[in-house]
C-alpha cells in the first residue's frame, strides 16, 4: 500500500509559536509546509495539510485533524514542521517511540547535504509515563509514523537565522528528497531550478564531488566549502552552489602570476625574452620567485604593477623583499604605523602609483560578479554591461568600472511558482534587500503581487 503524507504546519492563528530576529514560527512553518505539499504532489505522493492558512488548531483538534485526513494506519507518515528556540544551532528531528529512526536519519542526512548542521535525531519520553511520547503530536497520532522536524533555531547565534530566512526552500526540499527515498518514489528536482542561476548545479545519478568540481574547474574542497558540506555524500536532485570561476594565472596579457614549479627561465622562455630582460622589467635583484608573485612580461606594461594584494601568510618583510623594498619604505608608501596586515589589503609597491578613480574596483581572490554588484548596490547585468563583459569570469587584479546607481524603479509581477529567493537571484539582489524594498515582514507572496526591485 502506497504511503501517504500528512503535513502539519506547527502553531497558527492565535498561537504564533516562537518569534525572534524577524522570524515568526507560524509563518515559516506554513511557508515550508505548503511548499512541501506542492512538491510531494509533483512527485505523485498523496499528501494533505492540517492547515493551509493562518488558523488556530489546539492540542486536541490538531492530532484529530491529522488522523482524519488519511486515517490511523501505519501507511500514513505525519510530518509536523516547527522552528526551534532556546539559543541553540542546527536542525533536530524527533520520532515516535513506536517507530524506527530510518526516516529521521534520512532527513538528517539530507539536511547536512543542504548545508544545515544537525544537532540530533531522537526520541523523548513522557516523564510521568515513560511508555508514552513526550510530544502530544506523536503521542496522540497512534499507528501513524509521526515525526517532528525542527528546521533550526530562530534565536541562534550561529547561522540558523540565515538558514531559515534565506535557505528555507532548500531545507524543505531536503525533507522532500528524504520522503521520496523512504517511500520509494523516483525523485525529480523542482521544475526550472536549473535555470535559476548559472552557479547552481543539480546532482544527477552517477555524480561525484570530484566529477562536479572537475567539470567547473574548481577543487573538491572549494565545492564542499561553499555548500557547507562535511562529507562526500551526494543525493540525486541535491542543489549545489558553484563558485564563480576566477582565472588567477594571468591578470591580463602582460602580467603573469607565478605558479608552483615556475622559474625565471621558464617564464622568460614562454614570453620570448631573456631572464635578464624579465628581471629588469620587474626590478628583481635575485632569481627567487614566490607562488602568487605578479610579474610584468611585456615592456608595454612595465611600471604598471604598482599594487599588491595581501594573502594569507604574508608579512611586510616578505612583501618588501619580493619587490626590492625595505620594510620602512613599504610602510612609508602605505602610511602604515604598525606591521599588522589584513588578507585582501591592497598595498602600494611603487612611488609611481596613482589612485584609481572612485568608480573603479580591483578584483581580489574570492570575488564574484554577484558579490561586487551586491557591495555597490547594483545588478550583475549592470556591472557586466559597464565593463563590456559577456561572461562571469573575473581575473584577480582586474579593474572594474562601477556604474552609477539608477533611480529608475524596476518592478516584477509575481507568477505561480515564484519565491523571494528565486526572484532575488534572478535580479542579482539579496532576499533581505528585496523584502526591505517592499516592506515585507515574511516570505509569503501572492500571484499578481507587484514587487519593487532594488
Cell of 346: 591592497
Query: Structural domains in the chain?
Result: 4-183 (3.40.630.40), 193-243 (3.10.350.10), 354-405 (3.10.350.10), 410-453 (3.10.350.10)
* pLDDT grade for 214, boundaries at 50, 70 and 90: confident
Which carries the bigger pLDDT value, residue 366 or residue 273?
A: 273
What does residue 403 show for φ and ψ, rounded to 5 degrees? -70, 155
- Would the pLDDT of 285 be above 80? no
Asked whether residue 217 carries a pLDDT value surpassing 80, the answer given is: no
Q: Cell numbers 602580467 label which residue?
A: 255
Q: What is the pLDDT of residue 257?
A: 73
Give the burial string for 231-240 (b: 16+ CB within 10 Å, else e): eeebbbbbbb
Three cell numbers, residue 212:
562536479
Alpha-carbon distance 316 to 329, whole Å? 10
pLDDT, tens digit, 9 for 90 and up, residues 171-190: 999 999 999 999 999 888 88
Model confidence at 9, in pLDDT bands (50, 70, 90)? very high
* 34 — pLDDT class (breaks 50, 70, 90): very high
Cell of 280: 629588469
For the segment 319-332, the average pLDDT, to the nearest whole number, is 72
CB 32 within 8 A of CB 82: no
For 395-437, the pLDDT digits (tens) are 665 677 788 765 556 778 888 778 888 887 777 777 777 877 7
State the Cα–Cα distance between residues 104 and 116, nearest whole angstrom.
15
Rounded-to-integer distance, Cα 171 and Cα 108, Å: 10
Give the pLDDT of residue 397. 59
How many CB atoms are located within 10 Å of the residue 45 CB? Answer: 19
- Indicate the pairing of strand 47-49 with strand 23-24: unpaired
Confidence of residue 246 (pLDDT cuts 50, 70, 90): very low
Residue 20 burial class via C-beta count within 10 angstroms: exposed 0-12, middle 13-18, buried 19 and up: middle
**Does 337 score more than 80 pLDDT?**
no
3-state DSSP of the chain? CCCEEEEEECCECCECCCEECCEEHHHHHHHHHHHHHHHHHHCCCCEEECCCCCCCCCCCHHHHHHHHHHCCCCCEEEEEEEEECCCCCCEEEEECCCCCCHHHHHHHHHHHHCCCCEEEEECCEECCEEEEECCHHHHCCCCCEEEEEEEEECCCCCCHHHHHHHHHHHHHHHHHHHHHHHHCCCCCCCCCHHHCCCCEEECCCCCCHHHHHHHCCCCHHHHHHHCCCCCCCCCCCCEEECCCCEECCEEECCEEECCCCCCHHHHHHHCCCCHHHHHHHCCCCCCCCCCCCEEECCHHHCCCCCEEECCCCCCHHHHHHHCCCCHHHHHHHCCCCCCCCCCCCEEECCCCCCCCCCCEEECCCCCCHHHHHHHCCCCHHHHHHHCCCCCCCEECCCEEECCCCCCCCEEEECCCCCCHHHHHHHCCCCHHHHHHHHCCCCCCCCCCCEEEEC
Which whole number is the average pLDDT over 13-31? 93
- pLDDT at residue number 331: 78
In 3D, which of 251, 229, 260, 445 has the Cα closest to residue 363?
251
How many CB atoms sit inside 10 A of residue 355's CB?
A: 7
| 52-92 pLDDT, tens digit each | 999 999 999 999 999 999 999 999 999 999 999 999 999 99
The whole-number pLDDT of residue 237 equals 75
- Residue 180: partners with Cβ closer than 8 Å, 6 or more residues away: 43, 45, 186, 187
Amino acid at each position: 500500500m502506497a504511503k501517504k503524507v500528512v503535513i502539519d504546519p506547527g502553531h497558527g492563528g492565535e498561537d504564533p509559536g516562537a518569534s525572534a530576529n524577524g522570524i515568526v514560527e507560524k509563518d515559516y512553518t506554513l511557508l515550508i509546509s505548503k511548499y512541501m505539499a506542492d512538491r510531494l504532489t509533483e512527485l505523485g505522493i498523496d499528501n494533505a495539510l492540517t492547515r493551509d492558512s493562518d488558523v488556530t488548531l489546539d492540542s486536541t483538534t490538531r492530532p484529530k485533524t491529522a488522523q482524519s485526513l488519511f486515517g490511523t494506519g501505519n501507511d500514513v507518515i505525519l510530518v509536523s514542521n516547527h522552528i526551534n528556540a532556546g539559543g541553540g544551532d542546527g536542525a533536530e528531528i524527533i520520532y515516535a517511540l513506536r517507530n524506527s529512526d530510518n526516516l529521521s536519519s534520512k532527513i538528517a542526512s539530507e539536511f547536512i547535504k543542504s548545508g544545515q548542521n544537525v544537532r540530533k535525531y531522537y526520541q523523548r519520553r513522557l516523564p510521568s509515563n515513560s511508555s508514552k511520547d513526550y510530544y502530544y503530536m506523536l503521542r496522540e497520532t497512534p499507528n501513524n509514523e509521526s515525526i517532528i522536524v525542527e528546521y533550526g533555531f530562530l534565536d541562534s547565534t550561529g547561522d540558523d537565522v540565515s538558514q531559515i530566512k534565506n535557505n528555507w526552500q532548500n531545507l524543505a526540499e531536503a525533507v522532500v528528497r528524504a520522503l521520496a527515498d523512504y517511500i520509494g518514489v523516483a525523485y525529480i528536482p523542482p521544475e526550472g531550478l536549473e535555470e535559476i542561476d548559472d552557479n547552481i548545479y543539480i546532482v544527477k545519478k552517477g555524480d561525484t564531488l570530484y566529477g562536479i568540481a572537475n567539470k567547473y574547474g574548481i577543487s573538491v574542497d572549494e565545492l564542499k566549502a561553499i555548500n557547507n558540506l562535511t562529507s562526500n555524500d551526494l543525493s540525486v536532485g541535491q542543489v549545489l552552489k558553484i563558485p564563480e570561476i576566477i582565472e588567477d594565472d594571468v591578470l591580463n596579457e602582460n602580467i603573469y602570476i607565478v605558479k608552483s614549479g615556475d622559474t625565471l627561465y621558464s617564464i622568460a622562455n614562454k614570453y620570448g625574452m631573456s631572464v635578464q630582460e624579465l628581471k629588469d622589467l620587474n626590478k628583481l635583484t635575485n632569481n627567487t620567485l614566490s607562488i602568487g608573485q605578479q610579474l610584468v612580461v611585456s615592456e608595454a606594461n612595465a611600471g604598471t604593477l604598482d599594487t599588491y594584494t595581501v594573502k594569507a601568510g604574508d608579512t611586510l618583510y616578505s612583501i618588501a623583499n619580493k619587490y626590492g623594498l625595505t620594510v620602512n619604505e613599504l610602510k612609508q608608501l602605505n602610511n602604515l604605523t604598525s606591521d599588522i596586515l589584513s588578507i585582501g589589503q591592497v598595498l602600494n609597491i611603487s612611488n609611481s602609483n596613482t589612485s584609481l578613480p572612485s568608480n573603479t574596483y580591483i578584483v581580489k581572490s574570492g570575488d564574484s560578479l554577484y558579490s561586487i554588484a551586491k557591495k555597490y548596490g547594483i545588478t550583475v547585468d549592470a556591472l557586466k554591461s559597464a565593463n563590456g563583459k559577456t561572461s562571469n569570469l573575473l581575473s584577480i587584479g582586474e579593474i572594474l568600472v562601477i556604474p552609477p546607481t539608477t533611480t529608475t524603479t524596476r518592478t516584477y509581477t509575481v507568477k505561480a511558482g515564484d519565491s523571494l529567493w528565486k526572484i532575488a537571484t534572478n535580479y542579482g539582489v539579496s532576499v533581505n534587500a528585496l523584502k526591505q524594498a517592499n516592506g515585507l515582514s515574511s516570505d509569503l507572496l501572492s500571484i499578481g503581487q507587484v514587487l519593487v526591485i532594488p
